[in-house]
Structure 1
Amino acid sequence: MRSGAQVPASPSRLDSGLEVQLRNWFDRPYDDAISAARTCYSPRVIYADEVTEKQRRSIGPLTFFGGHHTVYQHATFEFALSGLSRQVVWCFLHAFPFYNSEQQSQRYVRLDAVQAHVPRRLAGQALSVYEAAIERAWAAYRELARRLEPVTQRTLAELWRLKERQSVAFGRNLAREAQKKAIETARYVLPVACHTAMVYTVSGIVLHRLRRMAAACDAPDEARALVDAMIGEVEKRDPAFFSEIGEAPLAEDEIPERRVAPGPCASDFPAQFDRSLEGHRSRLVDYGARAPAVVASAVRSVLGRPDLSEDEALDLVLDPARNRYRLDTLNVSTHSPLMRTLDHAHYTFRKKLSHSADSQDQRHRMVPGSRPLLSRTLPAEVDVIEPALVAQDPAAHALFRESVEDAFHARGELLRLGAEPELALYVLPNALAVRFEESGSLLHLLHKWTMRTCLNAQREIWEASMDELEQVRGVHPQLVRHVGPPCVVRNGLVSPRCTEGTHFCGIPVWRSFPKTERRI
Structure 2
Amino acid sequence: MKVTLIAHTPDPERIIATAAKLCYSPSDIMSLKEGLTDEKVESFVSMLISIGHESVLEHVSFTFGIEGISRACSHQLVRHRIASYSQKSQRYVNEDGFDFITPPEIAAVPEAKAEFDRQMEALTESYNRIADILTENHKKTFMEQGFDEKEAASRARKKANEDARFVLPNACETKIVVTMNVRSLLNFFRHRCCCRAQWEIKDVADEMLKLCCEAAPNVFRKAGPSCYSEGKCPEGKMTCGKIR
Per the TM superposition, whether the score is higher than 0.5 is yes
Secondary structure of 1:47's match? helix
CA distance in 2, matches of 1:256, 1:146: 51
Give the corresponding residue for 1:41: 24
Which structure carries more helix by proportion?
2
Deviation per CA, 1:467-498: give whole Å up to 9, x if none: xxxxxxxxxxxxxxxxxxxxxxxxxxxxxxxx
Q: Does 1:154 align with 2:140?
A: yes
Shift of 1:173: 2.4
Shift of 1:151: 2.2
Q: Does 1:22 align with 2:5?
A: yes
Shift of 1:258: 5.5
Secondary structure of 1:53's match? helix
Change (3 A) 1:72 1:118: same
**1:288-327 superposed matches below 5 A:** none
Deviation per CA, 1:96-137: give whole Å up to 9, x if none: 321112111100111233311212233112233223222221
Secondary structure of 1:21's match? strand
Change (3 A) 1:215 1:191: farther
Change (3 A) 1:49 1:87: farther
Shift of 1:32: 2.2
Q: Does 1:172 align with 2:150?
A: yes
The one-letter code of the counterpart of 2:57 is Y
Give the corresponding residue for 2:235: 255
Q: Does 1:206 align with 2:189?
A: no
Which of the numbers 114, 117, 122 marks the counterpart of 2:98? 114
The one-letter code of the counterpart of 2:215 is R
Secondary structure of 1:81's match? strand
Give the corresponding residue for 2:242: none
Contact kept, 8 Å, 1:152 with 1:181, in 2: the verdict is yes
The one-letter code of the counterpart of 1:196 is T
Which of the numbers 56, 65, 70 marks the counterpart of 1:80? 65
What fraction of aligned residue pairs are identical, expressed as a percent? 26
Q: Does 1:53 align with 2:31?
A: no
Give the corresponding residue for 2:160: 182
CA distance in 2, matches of 1:101, 1:257: 33
Structure 1 unaligned segments of length 5 or more: list them: 1-17, 260-520
Change (3 A) 1:136 1:258: farther
Shift of 1:215: 6.5
Change (3 A) 1:257 1:114: farther
Aligned residues: 229
Shift of 1:72: 1.0
Change (3 A) 1:219 1:140: farther
Structure 2 unaligned segments of length 5 or more: list them: 240-244
Give the corresponding residue for 2:89: 105
Secondary structure of 2:130's match? helix
CA distance in 2, matches of 1:48, 1:129: 63
Shift of 1:248: 2.9
Give the corresponding residue for 2:126: 140
The one-letter code of the counterpart of 1:106 is Q
Secondary structure of 1:140's match? helix
**TM-score w.r.t. structure 2 length?**
0.81
The one-letter code of the counterpart of 1:180 is K
Change (3 A) 1:97 1:146: same
Change (3 A) 1:215 1:246: closer
Asked which structure has the greater CA Rg, the reply is 1
Shift of 1:52: 4.5
Contact kept, 8 Å, 1:35 with 1:48, in 2: the verdict is no
Contact kept, 8 Å, 1:80 with 1:199, in 2: the verdict is yes
Give the corresponding residue for 1:233: 211
Contact kept, 8 Å, 1:214 with 1:249, in 2: the verdict is no
CA distance in 1, matches of 2:219, 2:45: 9
CA distance in 1, matches of 2:74, 2:35: 37
**1:393-472 superposed matches below 5 A:** none
CA distance in 1, matches of 2:45, 2:124: 50
Change (3 A) 1:65 1:237: closer
Secondary structure of 1:241's match? coil
**TM-score w.r.t. structure 1 length?**
0.40
Contact kept, 8 Å, 1:30 with 1:238, in 2: the verdict is yes
Shift of 1:184: 1.5
Change (3 A) 1:187 1:219: farther
**1:505-520 superposed matches below 5 A:** none
Change (3 A) 1:132 1:21: same
CA distance in 2, matches of 1:210, 1:192: 22
Contact kept, 8 Å, 1:116 with 1:193, in 2: the verdict is yes
Deviation per CA, 1:393-418: give whole Å up to 9, x if none: xxxxxxxxxxxxxxxxxxxxxxxxxx
Secondary structure of 2:219's match? helix
Q: CA RMSD in A?
A: 2.7
Contact kept, 8 Å, 2:191 with 2:197, in 1: the verdict is no
**1:278-427 superposed matches below 5 A:** none
Secondary structure of 1:230's match? helix
Shift of 1:174: 2.5
Shift of 1:249: 4.4
